[in-house]
Amino acid sequence: MAEQKSYHMSPEDFRRHGREVIDWIADYHENVARYPVLSRARPGEIGDSLGDEVPEDGEDFTAILQDATERILPGMTHWQSPGFHAYFPSNASGPAILGELLSAGLGVQGMLWSTGPACTEVETRVLDMLADLLGLPEAYRSTGSGGGVIQDSASSAVLCALIAARERDSGLRTNRAGCDGTQVAYCSTQAHSSLEKAMGVAGLGRANLRQIAVNERFALDPARLAAQIKADRAGGLRPIFACATLGTTSSNAIDPIAAIGRICRDEGLWFHVDAAMSGTAAICPEHRHLHDGIEYSDSYCFNPHKWMFTNFDCSCFWVADRAALIGALSILPEYLMNEATRSGAVFDYRDWQVPLGRRFRALKLWFVLRYYGVEGLRHHIRRHIELARRLVGWIEADHHFEIVAPTPLNLVCFRHLGSDELNERIMNEINGGGKIFLTHTRLNGRFVLRLCVGQSHTEAEHVERAWELIVDAAQGIRERGM
């Protein structure tokens, strides 16, 4: 019988092409600063360049990789560029990428302890170690009443926290029968939109999210929170959940965790802390005060995929009472039943998240923690914060510009004196130049420029250049008469 073609990539070819891909990534990272940070692709351009049929015969891998270079790269916005100052960062690093590769190579699906004992146990241990590093309360350890789990995103984390709160409040009745529209939740007007989305997804209703006014520092006002809870109770509603943000997306405002936490404790609300980007700073002892009051929280989330050199996706989520989370999310069909689960001696992480399946995300995080070590992480966090402060100094010294929000860490919010249109024009001109990319927000109704320093390889020279570009763009526009 003639030998059948396998169609698979042989181990020899995998080795060869694997080396090509590693070289490709290394070259990309070495040269990424040369590309326009914000992609110049027009809508549809990249899709149209790909053709629209799957090839009948498989293609040579080298040709495929070549196409990635020629057709995909031009459609990239380069998040790993040191000139990336937009949104919040989504930074990466060598050890994280290699950990990701190893995870893909192992191809494990860690939905249950039994389907991936190492996948589960590395995750539990890494999150316990991280809880120590961040100074999180004892209850968050797997050795206590709680524990940590890696979610795909902070959005999923807050959804899980909300569902746990919903079920804790209803004694699991809403899981069976659905919501009755009386459960309400609280955050500030500056909280991330993922909470509003989660209210809808969890069936609680977006209209049942109370967005509490903020003070002049854009942080939640606890007195207004307390008053709103009281008013809602008087109106026959059931306050169940509050979210404080440690580093809001718009301006990096820090909500008063302790004051909000005490209200939640007294009122019996589930208290979630969303520290998506800024939680990373608590690794440094001088920023640990950010966590003052964290002992009142029921859940906490921060994203190593934002500002801790671990490529997307990797969002760490802790609960103080794992029984509340597992009780809300667990459902066990016969085909997943196994001895280890029955024994009650293991974590089955499928019960800690919305999807069933899950990959070995902890591997890249473990690589990052071990490779950088505590000192390496602190070095970069401190550097980013210091560079942001330098920028604040330059802005304050320039009479054309003003700082419009406090800069507790690495996000600088500022504007050119004058109209919103002028500021938008400055931003568009800078971004069109391709050397850096920054984005905007609106604070107190005004258009505000945001510059975040958090990309893995952003150094002093890049922030200096960014400021020069901003000053030059503004001066050019002024001279042209706007």
**Is residue 317 within 8 Å of 148, Cβ to Cβ?**
yes
The Cα–Cα gap between 91 and 306 comes to: 6
Closest CB 316 distance from ligand PLP, rounded Å: 11
At a CB cut-off of 8 Å and minimum separation 6, what does 447 contact? 415, 420, 423, 424, 440
Per CB under 6 A, the segment of 66-74, 105-113, 244-252, 316-324 that binds ligand PLP is 244-252
Closer residue to ligand PLP (CB): 67 or 196: 196
**Is residue 191 within 8 Å of 162, Cβ to Cβ?**
no
Closest CB 173 distance from ligand PLP, rounded Å: 29
Q: Should residue 407 be labelled a site residue for ligand PLP when binding is judged by CB under 6 A?
A: no
At a CB cut-off of 8 Å and minimum separation 6, what does 415 contact? 401, 402, 404, 423, 446, 447, 448, 449
Closer residue to ligand PLP (CB): 311 or 315: 315
- The residue among 321, 308, 300 whose CA lies nearest residue 277 is 308
Q: Which 6-65 residues touch ligand PLP, going by CB under 6 A?
A: none
- Binder of ligand PLP out of 141, 166, 168, 192 (CB under 6 A): 192
Closer residue to ligand PLP (CB): 248 or 441: 248
Angle at 304 between CA 303 and CA 308, to 5 degrees: 135
Closer residue to ligand PLP (CB): 153 or 455: 153
Helix (H) or strand (E) holding 315: strand 315-319
Q: Should residue 190 be labelled a site residue for ligand PLP when binding is judged by CB under 6 A?
A: no
Closest CB 144 distance from ligand PLP, rounded Å: 25
Closer residue to ligand PLP (CB): 113 or 318: 318
Read off the DSSP letter of residue 50.
Answer: T
Angle at 305 between CA 386 and CA 403, to 5 degrees: 35
Closer residue to ligand PLP (CB): 221 or 274: 274
Closest CB 37 distance from ligand PLP, rounded Å: 18
Q: Should residue 249 be labelled a site residue for ligand PLP when binding is judged by CB under 6 A?
A: yes
Q: Should residue 155 be labelled a site residue for ligand PLP when binding is judged by CB under 6 A?
A: yes
Closest CB 384 distance from ligand PLP, rounded Å: 16
Residue 381, Cβ density class (10 Å: 0-12 exposed, 13-18 middle, ≥19 buried): buried
Q: Should residue 350 be labelled a site residue for ligand PLP when binding is judged by CB under 6 A?
A: no
Helical segments of 85-212, H only: 94-106, 117-134, 154-170, 173-177, 193-201
Q: Which 268-307 residues touch ligand PLP, going by CB under 6 A?
A: 274, 276-277, 303
Q: Should residue 154 be labelled a site residue for ligand PLP when binding is judged by CB under 6 A?
A: yes
Q: Should residue 153 be labelled a site residue for ligand PLP when binding is judged by CB under 6 A?
A: yes
- The residue among 321, 386, 377 whose CA lies nearest residue 134 is 377
Closest CB 312 distance from ligand PLP, rounded Å: 8
